[in-house]
Each structure stands twice: as structure tokens, then as C-alpha cells.
Amino acid sequence: MSDEYREDGLYPMRLQRFLARAGVASRRGSERLMTEGRVRVNGQVVTELGSKVDPVRDVVTVDDVPCSIADDSIYLILNKPAGFLTTMSDPMGRPCVAQLVPQDLYPGLYPVGRLDTDTTGLLLFTTNGDVGQGLLHPSHHVEKHYVALVQGTPSRHDLERLEAGVMLEDGPAAPARAELIGPGDPLFRRVAPGGAGHDGAGNPNAVVGLTIHEGRKHQVKKMLRAVGHKVLALHRDAFGPLTLSRVDEGSWRLLTRAEADAVERAAGVRG
């Protein structure tokens, strides 16, 4: 097989890159699948990590399921409702986001990062493993904007601590942007449709906007807890260049070409 450019624009490529682009797993996950002997090329098990494949002519299977690189990467956003796990399958049969996106239409679709089961809002899906990984890589500083209904009202000092980089159990959080969101703002109603209510001591609860670029587990809840305010409801309304425009809760839509280009740029896979 030669390394020459072909009319179809696909070069022979490393098998782990092919698997990642096919949306099977991250590149590291794909390497693991290979070393576990679960990947075959034209019927032969391939465990050697440097092996190359012809993306058009070779038949690649993982656990005997064929996989291929779609002509074009697929990107879609879901407006996730509460009560769904961020996973493509759950052995315990609990509701998961896979039920809300057209995975039959777009094999290899997977969520980029995760939202907690009780968190609502913007969840990006793609078939392009490189873009998914690029968006989550800390060096790319992709911003996410969250809106949180919290117990009590954070003081100016609390917001400044969040902005300076509050200390969490596993080390300091990177500096964030934090602001109080007033009841006139449509984002307020996303997390407090019936009003923000009061905490146990009769103090008014508040809605906080937080922009972060890290993605540690339960990060927003931990950051707000660290300044003394428990999160009662959490919604993500922006992820990198994407916002939730034109997607109702529980629905999805494909990205426009301009949005897909912006996502690829944010992931560092496009100039």
C-alpha cells in the first residue's frame, strides 16, 4: 500500500488513528482495543500499534463489528434533559443520552465530555475522535458556560474567589468568570422556572453564571460548594463556539457548516 495522496482524500493511516476517526474510541482507547486483540484488518487480528490501513479498501472490525470513516465528520448538539446518563449504553438499562440522538443514522456518534445526570443543556456529539479529544484537551482552553441555581446568595467576595481560582480537593481550579444572573434574564428561568426560592435560613437563593475551561468531574458543583453554595440545578448553555440556539429540551440538531468549522478550529484540528 502506498502513502500517496488519492482522489478520495484519504491516506493510508495508522490503525489507531483510523479507529479514533471512525468514532470507535479515543486514540488511547483504540490502542487498548488493538493490544487486547479485538481489532481485525481483513480478518486478521492486528495488535501492532504502528500498523497502517487503507481506509477505503481494508475491512476493519472491532469485536467483529465493521467500522469505517464517514465521508464527513458528523457533529450534532443535544439539549439534554435531566434524568439521562451521559453514556451510549447502560448495562443497568437506565435512561441514557443514546436514546435521544440518531445513533442508527450516524454510527460511531459519541458525546464529547459529560454532563451529570441531573444537569441539563448543551452536549456535543461527534463521530470524529480527534475533534472530540481536541476539545477536551486542557491545552486548548475550550470555554464552557454554566448557569447554576444555588442555595443562598454568593457575596462579591465569593465571586472573586471563583474568579481567582478556588481550592478544590484535587488542587486549585483555574480562574473562572463568575456573575450573578438576575430574574429578568432568560437564563435565570432555565434553572429557576418557578423562581429561585430561599435557603433553610430564609435567605434568597441565587442564579450564578460561571465560565470555566477545565472539565473535572462535578467541577461546577464543587467550585460553588467550595465558596459555600450548594448547587440545586445546573444547566450548560455554551460550549466553545456553540450555543443552544434553535434546540428545544430533549431535541438535537446537526451543526451548520460554519459551526462545524468553528468546532474543528477550537479543537486544534484545522488551521
In the complex, the smallest distance separating the C-beta of residue 119 from ligand URA, rounded to whole angstroms, is 3
Q: What sign does the CA torsion over 37, 136, 114, 65 have?
A: negative
Pairing, β 52-53 against β 119-126: unpaired
Catalytic residue of the set 58, 90, 116, 199: 116
Interface with ligand URA (CB under 6 A), residue from 218, 246, 257, 270: 218
Of residues 17 through 76, those in contact with ligand URA by CB under 6 A are none
Crossing angle of the two packed helices 219-226 and 156-164, in degrees rounded to 10: 130
Q: Grid coordinates in use for 172?
A: 486549585
Closer CB to ligand URA, residue 15 or residue 115?
A: 115
In the complex, the smallest distance separating the C-beta of residue 116 from ligand URA, rounded to whole angstroms, is 4
Closer CB to ligand URA, residue 231 or residue 267?
A: 231
Gap between the Cα atoms of 187 and 63, Å rounded? 44
Distances (CA, A) of 19 to 34, 59, 82: 10, 12, 31
Closer CB to ligand URA, residue 113 or residue 268?
A: 113
Residue 120 found at the interface with ligand URA (CB under 6 A) = no
Which region holds residue 131: left if phi is over 0, alpha if psi is between -120 and 50, else beta? alpha
In the complex, the smallest distance separating the C-beta of residue 150 from ligand URA, rounded to whole angstroms, is 12
Closer CB to ligand URA, residue 106 or residue 125?
A: 125
Residue 220 found at the interface with ligand URA (CB under 6 A) = yes
* 116 catalytic per annotation: yes
Which region holds residue 220: left if phi is over 0, alpha if psi is between -120 and 50, else beta? alpha
In the complex, the smallest distance separating the C-beta of residue 199 from ligand URA, rounded to whole angstroms, is 19
Q: Which residues are catalytic?
A: 116
* Contacts with ligand URA, residue ranges (CB under 6 A): 115-116, 119, 218-221, 234
